[in-house]
């Protein structure tokens, strides 16, 4: 009798676990982010292998064949989605310029003092800084202004302020409207116009999922409008490759530089548990004019995000060959 009760309890726990995971996986299959708590759980999709595996073990111990089959199907789907995609293809034409890009969310400016020496050490050509409020912007202007004489910023307090720093001449653009600053610019890279756009949509907090989808949708529309020329769209997207709204941005033809470099699943947030656990929500997306290599996620004191540094190479492309 006690053994029977134990098996029933094990089967019940396995069923509850598989039901919860199946909802999230089902939304991934259906290409939708649905509603809370699905968007929040989708960010950690690879780690759903743990409760699914536990449910399979419980089903085995409980002698529950349906649970074993159910668990095997869910594990198979998870394994399929964990596999990175969008890494094929190389740009056309000869290389024109090699650039190093750095993007960092300094969390309300708290990590500014750590960011400045990191930028000096890594020596990027273009820097995207999110949540760079008034004090942060004054500090980078003072300490990095000589190395990065060109800048385009949205000024604001708390998480609103953001800035793009560049060694290349910049022409200001309207940027993308959002609750937090998302400045844009056009960089003159050896005579070639390269569109730069900082990304920082609202996070998918339980009462902000609709706004999160809307602002990522604006970034998608922006990318679709600028698919004919070189584009670098970088920052804190508050979304991973397992979010449908993020994949729609990739659907415009952009590619994730970290994924091209073989680091598609390296977590960037939260930094306290990364790289052992987390989600990759900080990205450098590039048009097909670029190749990418050497992506690195670096710890930065004072922020809950890791800094992403990646080397990209701008190619001429068929349309620009004589």
Q: What is the pLDDT of residues 116-144, one digit of tens each?
A: 999 999 999 999 999 999 999 999 999 99
pLDDT, tens digit (0-9, with 9 covering 90-100), for 22-67: 999 999 999 999 999 999 999 999 999 999 999 999 999 999 999 9
Q: Is 109 left (phi over 0), alpha (psi -120 to 50) or beta?
A: left
Q: Are 242 and 42 in contact (CB under 8 A)?
A: yes
| pLDDT number for residue 322 | 42
How do residues 249-291 score in pLDDT, each as one tens digit?
Answer: 999 999 999 999 989 899 999 999 999 999 999 999 999 999 9
Report the C-alpha gap between 257 and 59 in whole angstroms: 40
**Dist CA 150 CA 168 (whole Å):** 7
Task: Give the pLDDT confidence of 296-314 residue by residue, as tens digits.
Answer: 999 999 999 999 999 999 9
Structure tokens at 155: 């000024």
pTM strictly above 0.85:
yes
Measured CA to CA, the distance from residue 156 to residue 183 in angstroms comes to: 12
- Taking the C-alpha atoms of residue 182 and residue 184, their distance in angstroms, rounded to an integer, is 7
Domain boundaries, the chain: 2-82, 95-320
Residue 115 has pLDDT above 60, yes or no: yes
Question: Which homologous superfamily does the CATH classification assign to the domain defined by 95-320?
Answer: Endonuclease/exonuclease/phosphatase (3.60.10.10)
- Residue recorded with tokens 């960011």: 115
Write the pLDDT tens digit of every residue in 4-23: 787 889 899 999 999 999 99
């Amino acid at each position: 009798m006690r053994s029977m009760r134990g098996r029933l309890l094990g089967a019940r726990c396995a069923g509850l676990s598989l039901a919860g995971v199946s909802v999230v996986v089902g939304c991934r299959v259906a290409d939708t982010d649905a509603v809370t708590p699905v968007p929040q759980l989708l960010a950690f999709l690879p780690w759903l292998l743990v409760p699914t595996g536990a449910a399979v073990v419980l089903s085995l111990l409980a002698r529950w064949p349906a649970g074993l089959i159910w668990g095997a199907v869910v594990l198979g789907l998870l394994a399929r989605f964990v596999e990175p995609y969008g890494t094929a293809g190389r740009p056309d034409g000869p290389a024109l310029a090699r650039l190093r890009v750095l993007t960092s969310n300094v969390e309300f400016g708290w990590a500014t003092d750590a960011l400045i020496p990191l930028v000096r050490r890594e020596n990027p050509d273009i820097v995207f800084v999110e949540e760079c409020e008034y004090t942060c912007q004054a500090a980078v202007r003072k300490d990095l202004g000589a190395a990065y004489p060109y800048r385009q910023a949205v000024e604001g307090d708390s998480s609103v302020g953001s800035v793009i720093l560049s060694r290349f001449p910049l022409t200001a653009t309207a940027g993308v409207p959002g609750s937090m600053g998302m400045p844009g610019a056009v960089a003159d890279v050896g005579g070639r116009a390269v569109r730069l756009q900082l990304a920082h949509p609202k996070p998918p907090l339980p009462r902000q999922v609709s706004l999160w989808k809307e602002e990522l949708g604006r970034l998608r529309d922006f990318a679709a409008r600028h698919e004919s020329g070189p584009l670098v769209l970088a920052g804190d997207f508050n979304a991973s490759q397992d979010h449908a709204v993020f994949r729609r941005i990739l659907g415009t033809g952009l590619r994730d530089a970290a994924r091209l470099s073989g680091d598609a699943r390296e977590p960037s947030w939260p930094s306290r548990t990364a790289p052992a656990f987390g989600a990759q929500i900080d990205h450098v997306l590039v048009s097909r004019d670029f190749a990418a290599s050497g992506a690195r996620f670096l710890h930065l004191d004072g922020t809950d995000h890791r800094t992403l540094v990646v080397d990209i190479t701008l190619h001429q492309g068929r349309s620009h060959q004589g």
